[in-house]
Structures are given as structure tokens and as C-alpha cells.
A and B are shown apart, each in its own frame.
Chain A
Amino acid sequence: MDTRSKADMEHLEGAEITLESAAADPRPSRAEGGDGEIVLEGVGVSPGIAIGPAYLYARTTFEVEERLLSDDEVEEELERFERAVARSERDLNKIILVTREKLGEDSADIFEAQLLMLRDEALYNAVEEYIRREKRNADYAVKVVMDKHRRMMEASGNEYLRERANDLLDVEERIIRHLLRGKILSAIAPHSIVVAENLTAADVVLFSRRGILGCALDFGGPTSHVSIMARALGVPAVVSLHSVTELVAPGDEIILDGIRGRVIIRPTEKTLAEYRISRERYRRLIQEEKQLVPLPAETLDGHCLHLHANLELYEELDQLHEYGAEGIGLVRTEILFLVRGSTEISEESQYEVYRKIVEAMNPGVTTFRVFDLGGDKLLPMAHREHNPFLGWRGIRVLLDRPELLLPQLRAILRAGAHGPLRILLPMVTNINELRTFRAHLANVEHELIEEGFEILANPPVGVMVEVPSVALQADHFARESDFFSIGTNDLTQYVLAVDRGNDLVADLYEELHPAVLMLIHRTVEAAHRHGIPVGLCGELASNPRAVPILVGLGIDELSASPVYLPGMKRVIRAMKKTEGETLARVALEARTADEVREKLDQWLGEHACGFTYFFENDPPPGPGGRTAAS
């Protein structure tokens, strides 16, 4: 296989690139409007529109400098090398997985070979030896050792070997990129759009300090740490683009549309002109929405909802009031700690963080979801579960590991002395889990009082409705819960049996599927029969298109990343609850998600409050759709 077809294969990581274009040209273009403009569809995870030059993180050339190490630096340097190799392994494993899914078992040969090269005795050991013997920095050692092998392969008369030299170069660059991460990141030009395979949350923080305009990534999803961070920092981002790093050349002008989840590479003048207008309109829209911040989320017929914020990061605390959050509907406590790579989760450190959050939100309520850990974060590699989504997660882990649960409960109850809070349980599937949890909670309360702490006694305890069994038995759960919070992301995955991270089936993931809506409906009915409130904290809440239906279904609280709250409020204030109820009835009767969407788009078009309306040349697709100026 030649180098070109390898590049083609990387393109095919993307679902959006057609087979014929990949086979014909290493830089396929999906022209829309001609002149080589490429439109890539991904997932918009942080809203906004950016236009600027691409900074291609993956293809950046870097100066490797030679540095002499002191004796005590050598071990550290060896560890740094190993970490970079391990990260490269993770990259390649991911690429192999996706390539296989797209093209079949044999398609990933090249990457399999690259994976073997990473730990090749002739390379890995030689680099280690070089670092030890010559006392040089890891990046320099990698370059010296790999370049030597590469030159040998290039110099051979064999065409096959000369091509393999390119694979070695890929491997070399990948390792060096991981080694020089910090340096590369800080070298980025401001006002550019970062294009990368993937980034860590910490990378985005660094980038945003450099004043970048946006991020376009091959991998990632709405709940990836990188997406959450981009939202928190107000950096527009589109993820899951699959092939953007292959299709963009350094310095290419690109348009990043974080609202519709689209990236346009080398846009035509016409497209640019349209997007400049959209960008301006979006700015104006944001200004308008700012004026809604002090107003209640009240429908035209006087029904009030509560708009709460999802909080993943400390950095988002400032945004709570800026975007008018009445409370916090979901603190993802595990992310608060894990995103920093922190393993220090003592009671004291948790208490400090929780107290600050509660104080910042006071008098609004803060909802702490106890650690929602996938078992994979706790188990050694060898015990990986075959099916983690149906495995050891959420409350199951916590009830098995009281050493995790109890310090957290102590910290939360102590923080409760500083403002109102609620406790939310993830991944509950049966009522006994709730009862066992309450027993733990009672013990902890008792303990803390005995120890003389000032605490919040009897905090409201709610369950996440994210497993179908809870929605189906909502009546029983409502009797023993103080509130519900519907997690639509997981609920949708479990109801429709779709892993949305799996490209082969991701298009079956439909949050507006009538079956999902039926379970939401059932949950709300049961909750209201027992007089407890129902919140909804999945991505569905932040989708303005879904808001009318959620209001109609009777949801009491909507919780989303702070940036989305004003847009949600705009829709709520433009509708009547009775209209929502009509929409909800129609949606519950619908056979497919398409039918539901069609109805909603039609309604949004008629009311000019969807957020597509400000794209002048992109009227809402519904039959009644029209373009409204404001």
C-alpha cells in the first residue's frame, strides 16, 4: 500500500467523506458552491462562529533542540519518553479502531505497524539507551535514533522500504509532538483556529489564553472534557469531524460554525460573505439575549420554569450569574476532580470546593451529583469490562466502595451549612440502591453531628432518570425521592441501544425519538402525582429546538451549560405553555424522530425563535419555515 492510500484511509475515519472521493484523491473535496470549498459536518459543542487561519496542531513542524541533561534528570527524561510513547499508543489504537469500523479488519495494517514501531526493540530501547548514555533530552534522542533508521530505509533501493520510511516519520513526529506539547501549544498564533486530532482540557485552557478563535477536532463528543472546557471558556468548537486534520493545510482559511457543528475549509468568497453576516447576526443575538438575563423564564401564558446550570469546572462559576442561572442543576463532581488529573479527593479538599460553589450560587440551590465514575477509571487495565455501559458505574461503584462515597457525603453535608443544596444519584436502576444510599447518608449525618460539625440535615435526595427501569417505575421512585433529574444522554443510549460514540450506529442516536419522549412524559406524570419537581439535564435541554416540547411535557427545571441558558430563555419567553402541550401530544403520537423534528421546526419557523433564524440564507427547513430578521 502506498503512502497516498494511507492518507486516504485516514480520511475514511470520517463518515462524511465519501468513498469515491477518498479513492480518487488524497485531498478529496466535497465542494458546495465550487472552487474547492470543503464542508465538513461534525458536532457543535460550543456555540459561536469563527473565521480565520487554521493552526494545524497535528502537522506542525517543530524545532527539536539538543539539551544536555544533568545526572539526576535522566530518569525523569526516560519517564517523559515513556509517557509520550504511551500517549502515541492511545492515539493509534483509536485510529485503528475507527479505521477498522469504517473499512474492515485489514484496513488498519499501516497503523498496526506504526503501533509496533512505537515499542520496537530497535527503536525504543535505542532511544532509552541514547538518553542514558549521551544524557540528551528525549525529543532529541527520538530524532537522532529514528532519523538514522529512516535514512537507512530511504537510501535502500527498495521502493517498499522507502515508503515505510514515511511511516517511521509519522511515528517519530507523533512521539515528538507529545514530548513538545507544552512548547507547541504556547507557540500558537493568536486569532487562529486550532485544528487537531484531539486535545486535552488543559490544552484548551492554554490555547484560550493565547486568544485562539476556535477548535476543530477529529475526535471527541459533547461530553468530552475538551468540549466542556471549550464551552466554559467560550471558545467555539466543533468535534467529531473525523478527517479535518487531513483535509486542512496549515494556514488555510476556515470557517468554524459551532452552532450547526460545521467546518468549511477554504471557503468561497460567497460563503465567506454569508458567514460574515451570520457572525454579525450572532453577535447581535448574543447582545439581545444578555438583556434577557435578569428576566424570568416565563411563558407568554404565565408558566415559569427554572433554568439551572450544569457545572463541570471551577472556571464556570463566573458564568453562573453572567448567564442568569437560578441554580445549579448538576455538578459533575467527578469531572471537577478528574479533569485536573487530581487523585487527591480527600474530604477536606472536596469540602473546600463544594463550599465555594454553594456560596457562589446561594441563595440558588446547588445540585451535587455524587461521583459518576465509570469502573474503567478504577480498575486495572487487565480487568477492563467488555461492556462498561452496562457495567460497574455510578451508584453501583459508590455502594461497593464506601471509601469513595462516605468522604464525599461528609464534604457535601458540611458544605450545606453555607447554602442550599441537593444530592443526586447517578445510574440508579432499582429502589434498593436509593434505600442503601439513604442509610449511608443518615449514618454520615449522625457522625458529623456527633463530631460537632455544622451541617445541612436531611438534604433533598433525587435520582437520575437515565435508565429505562427508573422511568418505567417512576411512581415507586417518586414516593422515595425528593426530586428527579432526567439525564437524556444516557437515557437515549439505553432506550435505543445505541452507543453514540460508535460511528456505525451514531445516526440512530435520537434524543427526540418518540420512545425517549414517552419515558420523559411518564416520569413527569409520576413526579407530579407525588408532588416532586422534575429537572432535565442532558444536552436535549440546551437544544432550543427541543425546548418547546420539554415545556409542553411539564419539565420544571432545565439544566444546561451556562452559555446556552439565554437562548433557552428566549424560546420559553416566546411561547405559550399550551402550545408546548399541543406539540408534546403530537410528538408522543409520532412514529419517528423525523416526524417530531419536522413538527418542531415548523413551529420554530412560525415563531421565529429558533436559532437558525439569524442565518439569513438558511431558513428553517420546516414547511412553514421562513426567515425572520429578528
Chain B
Amino acid sequence: MIVCEVTVTNRAGLHTRPASMIVRTASKFDSEFIIQKDGYEINGKSIIGVMTLAAEQGAKLTLVFEGEDEKEACEAMKELFEKGFGEVK
């Protein structure tokens, strides 16, 4: 299991497009993917789940990966957050 912390940096927060990108990226990997925020957690491969997070700019999220390709999955996800989902910050 890999656990890492990320911060939502893009201005609009995890709205529709970033949420879709997270789900699409997570779905490329076999590992299970959980996102925790403020004490509750959701399935990171579910668009409904990620939307329900309603994470805004500055929100801190804990990402939990578990599975064969957890390392690669974690790297890919971290990159997505670091780049602010390709949006202007």
C-alpha cells in the first residue's frame, strides 16, 4: 500500500474536467485507489465519488493505492495534481 498527500493547486478545484482526468488515469491501473479528505473517503475510480469530494483550491487530499501497479499509479496521479490538470493556475 502506498499513501501520499497532495494539494489541489488549480484555481477551479476538482470540477468536472479534473475529476474526469483523475478517474480516467486511475482506471488505467489495476490498483485500488481511495481518496481521503476531511475524514471520509471515496473510490477514486468513480466519477461520482470524486465529484462528491467537491475539493476546492488548497484542499489537502490523501491518496491511497493498493495493488500490483500501485507505484506507477501513484506517480501518475501525483503528476496530474502537480501539473494542476493542465490548467492555468
Q: Do A and B come from one complex?
A: yes
A residues touching B (Cβ–Cβ < 8 Å)? Answer: 1, 106, 109-110, 112-113, 116-117, 120-123, 149, 152-153, 156, 158, 160-161, 164, 168
Q: Tell me if B54 and A122 are in contact (CB < 8 A).
A: no
Q: Tell me if A121 and B45 are in contact (CB < 8 A).
A: yes
Q: Do most interface residues of chain A lie in helix, strand or loop, or is the interface mixed?
A: helix
B7 on interface, CB distance cutoff 8 Å? no
Q: Tell me if B46 and A121 are in contact (CB < 8 A).
A: yes
Determine the distance from Cα of A117 to Cα of B45 in the docked complex, in whole angstroms: 11
| A149-B48 in contact given A121-B43, A161-B54 (Cβ < 8 Å) | yes
Q: What mask results when residues 36 to 53 of chain B are scored 1 for a CB within 8 Å of chain A, else 0?
A: 000000010111110110
- Selected from B23, B46, B52, the residue in CB contact (under 8 A) with A161 is B52
Identify the interface centre among A121, A123, A156: most chain B CB within 10 Å of its CB: A121
B73 on interface, CB distance cutoff 8 Å? no
Q: Tell me if B16 and A164 are in contact (CB < 8 A).
A: yes
Write the chain A residue with the least CB distance to B24. A116
Min C-beta distance of A265 to chain B, whole Å:
30
24 contacts between A and B (CB under 8 A): A1-B16, A109-B17, A110-B16, A112-B16, A112-B17, A112-B20, A113-B16, A113-B17, A113-B20, A113-B47, A113-B51, A116-B23, A116-B24, A120-B47, A120-B48, A120-B49, A121-B45, A122-B43, A122-B48, A156-B54, A158-B54, A160-B13, A160-B54, A161-B52
B19 on interface, CB distance cutoff 8 Å? yes
Write the chain A residue with the least CB distance to B13. A160
Write the chain A residue with the least CB distance to B19. A113
Write the chain B residue with the least CB distance to A125. B46
Write the chain B residue with the least CB distance to A122. B46
Determine the distance from Cα of A121 to Cα of B23 in the docked complex, in whole angstroms: 11
Query: 7 additional contacts, CB 8 Å, given A112-B20, A113-B19, A122-B48?
Result: A109-B16, A113-B17, A113-B51, A122-B49, A158-B54, A161-B51, A168-B48
Min C-beta distance of A168 to chain B, whole Å:
7
Determine the distance from Cα of A405 to Cα of B22 in the docked complex, in whole angstroms: 48
Write the chain B residue with the least CB distance to A116. B47
Determine the distance from Cα of A596 to Cα of B17 in the docked complex, in whole angstroms: 48
B residues touching A (Cβ–Cβ < 8 Å)? Answer: 13, 15-17, 19-20, 23-24, 43, 45-49, 51-52, 54
Write the chain B residue with the least CB distance to A118. B47
Identify the interface centre among B15, B17, B19, B47: most chain A CB within 10 Å of its CB: B47
Min C-beta distance of A452 to chain B, whole Å:
60
Q: Tell me if A153 and B17 are in contact (CB < 8 A).
A: no
Find chain A residues with CB under 8 A from B16 CB.
1, 109-110, 112-113, 164
Determine the distance from Cα of A158 to Cα of B51 in the docked complex, in whole angstroms: 11
Determine the distance from Cα of A120 to Cα of B49 in the docked complex, in whole angstroms: 9
Min C-beta distance of A129 to chain B, whole Å:
14
Q: Tell me if B15 and A160 are in contact (CB < 8 A).
A: yes
Would you list the 9 A-B pairs with minimal beta carbon distance, nearest first?
A116-B47, A122-B46, A158-B54, A109-B17, A113-B16, A122-B48, A120-B46, A109-B16, A121-B46
Find chain A residues with CB under 8 A from B46 CB.
120-123
Write the chain A residue with the least CB distance to B86. A106
Determine the distance from Cα of A116 to Cα of B23 in the docked complex, in whole angstroms: 8
Q: Tell me if B54 and A116 are in contact (CB < 8 A).
A: no
Determine the distance from Cα of A122 to Cα of B16 in the docked complex, in whole angstroms: 17
| A109-B48 in contact given A156-B54, A160-B15, A161-B54 (Cβ < 8 Å) | no
- Selected from B20, B43, B52, the residue in CB contact (under 8 A) with A116 is B20
Q: Tell me if B52 and A153 are in contact (CB < 8 A).
A: yes
Find chain A residues with CB under 8 A from B24 CB.
116
Determine the distance from Cα of A149 to Cα of B51 in the docked complex, in whole angstroms: 11
Determine the distance from Cα of A263 to Cα of B65 in the docked complex, in whole angstroms: 54
- Selected from A117, A156, A158, the residue in CB contact (under 8 A) with B47 is A117
Find chain A residues with CB under 8 A from B54 CB.
156, 158, 160-161
Find chain B residues with CB under 8 A from A123 CB.
46, 48
Find chain A residues with CB under 8 A from B49 CB.
120, 122
Determine the distance from Cα of A158 to Cα of B15 in the docked complex, in whole angstroms: 12
Find chain A residues with CB under 8 A from B43 CB.
121-122
Min C-beta distance of A109 to chain B, whole Å:
5
Q: Tell me if B52 and A109 are in contact (CB < 8 A).
A: no
Determine the distance from Cα of A153 to Cα of B19 in the docked complex, in whole angstroms: 15
Min C-beta distance of A598 to chain B, whole Å:
48
Determine the distance from Cα of A473 to Cα of B62 in the docked complex, in whole angstroms: 69
Q: Tell me if A152 and B52 are in contact (CB < 8 A).
A: yes
Find chain A residues with CB under 8 A from B15 CB.
1, 160
Min C-beta distance of A27 to chain B, whole Å:
23
Determine the distance from Cα of A161 to Cα of B50 in the docked complex, in whole angstroms: 11
Find chain A residues with CB under 8 A from B47 CB.
113, 116-117, 120
Write the chain B residue with the least CB distance to A115. B20
Determine the distance from Cα of A3 to Cα of B3 in the docked complex, in whole angstroms: 36
| A106-B52 in contact given A116-B47, A117-B47 (Cβ < 8 Å) | no
Write the chain A residue with the least CB distance to B51. A164
Determine the distance from Cα of A109 to Cα of B17 in the docked complex, in whole angstroms: 6
Find chain B residues with CB under 8 A from A110 CB.
16
Determine the distance from Cα of A164 to Cα of B20 in the docked complex, in whole angstroms: 13
Determine the distance from Cα of A312 to Cα of B73 in the docked complex, in whole angstroms: 52
Q: Tell me if A106 and B17 are in contact (CB < 8 A).
A: yes
Min C-beta distance of B26 to chain A, whole Å:
11
Determine the distance from Cα of A83 to Cα of B14 in the docked complex, in whole angstroms: 31
Identify the interface centre among B17, B23, B24, B48: most chain A CB within 10 Å of its CB: B48
Determine the distance from Cα of A120 to Cα of B46 in the docked complex, in whole angstroms: 5
Determine the distance from Cα of A460 to Cα of B52 in the docked complex, in whole angstroms: 67
Min C-beta distance of A128 to chain B, whole Å:
14
Find chain B residues with CB under 8 A from A160 CB.
13, 15, 54
Determine the distance from Cα of A149 to Cα of B20 in the docked complex, in whole angstroms: 18
Write the chain B residue with the least CB distance to A167. B16
Determine the distance from Cα of A120 to Cα of B24 in the docked complex, in whole angstroms: 11
Determine the distance from Cα of A435 to Cα of B43 in the docked complex, in whole angstroms: 61
Find chain B residues with CB under 8 A from A112 CB.
16-17, 20
Find chain B residues with CB under 8 A from A168 CB.
48
Write the chain B residue with the least CB distance to A121. B46
